[in-house]
Amino acid sequence: MSAIWLAMAALALYIFGWLWYSRYLANHIYRLDPNFITPAHRYRDGVDFVPTNKWILWGHHFTSVAGAAPIIGPAIAIYWGWGPALAWVALGTVFAAGVHDFGALVLSNRHRGQSIGTMANRIIGRRAKILFLFIILILILMVNAVFAWAIANLFINNPSAVLPVILQIPVAIWIGYKVLRRGGNLLLPSIIALALMYGTAVVTTYVEWLQIDLVRWFGGEGASTFVFGLEATPASFLIWILALLGYVYVASTLPVWKLLQPRDYINAQQLIVGLAILYLGLLLTQPQVTAPIYNNAAETSWFPLLFITIACGAISGFHGLVASGTSSKQLDREPDARTVGYLGALGEGVLALIAIIAVATVFASQSEFLDSYSSFAKAGDVGIGNFVEGASALASGVGIPSEIAATIVALIIVCFAATTLDSAVRLLRYIIGELGNEYRVHHLTRRHIGTSLAIGMTALLALVPDGGQGVGSGGYLLWPLFGTSNQLLAGITLMLISLWLFRQGRNPLPTLVPMIFLLAMTIWALTQQLVLDWSGVGEADAQWLLFALGAIILGFAVWILLEAIRLFYHREELEALRDPADETAEETNDSAENGRPTGKGQQTEQTDKGQS
């Protein structure tokens, strides 16, 4: 069967989601109001709260949530066959991810740009808020530590991609000052920046002395170095991780218009170009699907692990953190939330779709696929490599040499992973500040103190413990918790949105149904991991650190769920949790929804525009 039919079926569902379902959510569920004064205007500070064009903000949001996860998850999950993976990606994107990302952005917008953890205080109560912040803190720390190692690994294995990545930083800063600060069209400068990066990637692919290859500079693999007596490869990992942490410290403390917005807009153009090349290659080559629709030889059951393995590309709790952490503080108009939140989720779904197709078509025969994916553990080892090979084959269909295609694919993955790392450190700073406010340690709310703590905790987790993959891989010690804790976070976020809709007298079913499904699958999967994989009861050896943290996270999640169920049955308690400051904004908005005058809100908006 030609892979083009898989793409057409999923893309048709995405078009339905954008044209009809997202509009239904905007008009009837979230009830977006063009007169609502967004936090970006109300609290404008030029650093974090900055009103932003919706397409620039879409670029930031999309690239922050994408990273490498919508590639890695599907490339592993195809172990069960392309059928389950494709169904979860297509349906999950339209009816779960889009609803979740869109809803988290609207919820934060209606609560003064607060993060999802802080909003829990006024929706589900203070006890649940503290438990929720703990889950978020663990999740972001894991992301920071693992992504730092993963980017270093990509730099070491793809030295031709390093210079184009470095070149992006000064170009993005220049665009920030010349275009965003002074006003102007960002499209042409970003295309020029993209041409410079890709042109550099072509040159560095063939010119060895332009490749920043630390291992080779140190004398080759196995050579001793002056860096704490480490061999060349471990020393290279250490240097790259420290350099990355230094970079994200600066990047996450700069005003968003100086680096974050222009860099992410360039990255969005990168992904659009990359996806266009891959889908054009798919159209021209029309490769045959050699992977089975369902792998009957799979020893590990797909239910419920499929819904944990594919997170980004179907639904991911990290998206809610980005939507409520950075994106909501840059939302210019509330109707822009549909483009930023829902279309951002669709963009990631398109990326996950081509990842499935690339892997499903890369093998010459089904037997080769079964040899490569002989076990779930092996799928985790070969997944990303199979994607790169398959994507290079699709790109070669439009005349791009495989060597250059491999460099460009590595360049895109690194840029997206670096964007995620930058945003995650900024989010961790917000969480630290919120904990500082909660416990009256107000020094923690200062930008550089919070960022220093965020970088310090990330460095400790990455560099101190042994994660089993050499220097800097300490984050992998906790990484087995990521899938379930990330999906628990998504389920709890949908729970908060459902409670808010219920309190507002609106229909919560579009968020309630995916919430129930996701929490059921995740709690089931985490219970299996605790009992069979980490407790020592099953065939695997006991892993007490994972068991203890997993049990704590599961206990906290169940506690939060019980609190939410109680509030559904005691609406008066739910009403009592309203924040008076949010109440005023919501009343103003509800007046507009019901056709009543909104003089106060309109006057504030006009004043704000005048000040801008």
Q: What is the pLDDT of residues 472-482, one digit of tens each?
A: 999 888 888 88
Return the minimum-mean-pLDDT range out of 15-29, 128-142, 235-249. 128-142
pLDDT at residue 586, rounded to an integer:
52
Select, from the ranges 26-35, 254-263, 598-607, the one with the highest average predicted confidence (pLDDT): 26-35
pLDDT in tens, 388-429: 889 888 988 888 887 887 788 788 888 888 888 888 898 899
pLDDT over 50 at 260, yes or no = yes
Task: Give the residue, 497 or 560, on which the prediction is more confident.
Answer: 497
* Cα–Cα dist 163/151, whole Å: 14
Residue burial 194-224, b: 16+ Cβ < 10 Å; e: rest:
beebbebbbebbeeeebbbbbbeebeeeeee
State residue 602's pLDDT score: 35
- The per-residue DSSP string of 536-581 comes to SSSSSPP-HHHHHHHHHHHHHHHHHHHHHHHHHH-HHHHHHT--HH
What pLDDT score does 431 carry? 86
Give residue-wise pLDDT tens across range 332-363: 999 999 999 999 999 999 999 999 999 999 99
pLDDT of residue 569: 86
What is the number of other CB atoms lying within 10 angstroms of the CB of residue 278?
27
Give the closest residue to 8 by CA, choosing from 67, 90, 83, 99: 90
Sequence-separated (6 or more) residues with CB below 8 Å from residue 211: 159, 160, 162, 163, 204
Most confident range, picked from 191-195, 279-283, 587-591: 279-283
Query: 288: which strand partners?
Result: 2
Reduced to 3 states (helix: H, G, I; strand: E, B; else coil), residue 260 is: helix
Which residues, including other chains, have CB under 8 Å from residue 362's CB and lie 6 or more apart? 290, 386, 389, 390, 393
CB contact at 8 A, 128 and 363: no
- Residue 17 near residue 102 (C-beta atoms within 8 A): no
Whether the predicted pLDDT of 208 surpasses 50: yes
Mean pLDDT of 238-244: 95
For the chain, helix, strand, coil in percent to 5 are 75, 0, 25
Give the contacts of 109 (CB within 8 A, at least 6 positions apart): 36, 38, 39, 328, 331, 334, 337
Q: Nearest CA to 573 among 498, 501, 516, 503?
A: 503
Classify 224 as helix, strand or coil. Answer: strand
Contact between residue 451 and residue 246 where contact means Cβ atoms under 8 Å apart: no
**Is the pLDDT assigned to residue 276 strictly greater than 80?**
yes
71-111 pLDDT, tens per residue? 889 999 999 999 999 999 999 999 999 999 999 999 999 99
AA letter at 320: G
Quick check: 584 pLDDT over 60?
A: no
Average pLDDT over residues 225-243: 92
Window from 22-31, 183-192, 256-265 with minimum mean pLDDT: 183-192
Q: Please give the average per-residue pLDDT across 160-167, as a whole number.
A: 91
Average model confidence (pLDDT) across the chain: 88
pLDDT band at 180 (very low <50, low <70, confident <90, very high): low
Residue 601: pLDDT band by 50, 70, 90 thresholds? very low
pLDDT at 606 over 70: no
Residue 192 in tokens: 């020029």
Q: What integer pLDDT is reported at residue 604 of this predicted model?
A: 33
User: Angle at which helices 402-438 and 376-396 pack, to 10 degrees?
Assistant: 130
pLDDT digits (tens, 9 = 90+) for 64-75: 887 678 888 999
Nearest to 64 by CA among 358, 312, 297: 312
Share of the chain above pLDDT 70, in %: 94
Please give the angle made by the CA atoms of 474, 477 and 481, to the nearest 5 degrees. 130
CB proximity list for 504: less than 8 A, separation 6 or greater: 586, 590
Average pLDDT over residues 285-292: 95
CB burial class (10 A; 0-12, 13-18, 19+) of residue 409? buried
Name the most confidently modeled range: 323-327, 483-487, 514-518: 514-518
Residue percentage of the chain with pLDDT more than 90: 53
Q: Residue 610 pLDDT more than 50?
A: no
